[in-house]
Structure 1
């Protein structure tokens, strides 16, 4: 993804992560994409692209705009999910583009059939949200900037405070962190895990503190954006439940160990 405006710090790192995750997911998919070549066009949705299809850019660049305003450009390695409910979003190609096309319903069904792919899918969506947050910041005057979508934490720093309102969901980009309840370490989280989603979805205060164990980078997704992701991509719930089950299993093991 290439920003029309100068994106704020952390955008390039998110872009590299995004492409790596997409490449990893595509490599595991049991589906073969249809090849869709696009000639230069002012509206790709009228000449080949469909809103019920997910695309991966195989070559060239595809621009995206809302009405007459250019937003950004998808380049090689990016995954595009056309917004079926937004007719104001259009795509254009200033030169030839080669796309790999996957029927969205079939792709999501394949992703949900495998826990690892479901987690990858969730990371891709949350990372894309983080990228869009950075792009949005590039178009907003500095005095109106909100908390950025990408943050770093040194060992010992608190990422999430127990008892605080759940205003963000965090995706751990890199590093490891401890989970504490009442200052007692009860678990650990590592790269790729989504943090704080349950408190946000249940409108509850944070039930635990998350403290960086090593240097950590996180993608911060505001609650309204995350809820929109859940509504438009219900498969994310599957991945979140998978992570919860893993965490509960880990806690059960600790309880058994302490009891013994």
Structure 2
């Protein structure tokens, strides 16, 4: 069996164990049918009864759902176990040449259960296959659901965002304060629970200001695509953002007034 992407050492060990168990289970089992060759098969079990299992002699078959290959089976693999018990399962397909030896499910199971040693290995085979898929799924879920809100601890003078840079993160100060600079002029401060950096993220424009920690700070950085989910989960964050924007607009208006009067 081949699993796409980078696999962990645990998954690789289970793959190796599965191959060893397959070889043991097939010892002394006589396949009565001749090998068959197929090419560009969209669904193997549209061509064969579901009580058929297959040993791959050459080529590959793919577990596929919605046009996506989830796993691939190669030479020496037994395929069709779940399908042969009428379980809901992805289809088995291939775009290329494959050579298979078909054999009857019930005859194979009689072979397995006629020997206590093979019964033992058959149990191991099923458990190993289940553990393999669970481990692989756990790796995928871990990768896909890694925390998207990154927490950073900063010291005074550390730059959080820089004027002119591209924007892809929205920030919240959890603890501490930061100064805001436009063209190297201090135009304000940001305090605890204030959200900043959102406007450039959503407008696609470069950062309009530089923000530098003025004290020891803990900040949370959230990617744009996850900010909406954060707002849904924590409505207070939306209220804080609106209040911050209103305060900054008032501050900028006052600065314009002051400049006009000077």
TM-score (norm 1): 0.50
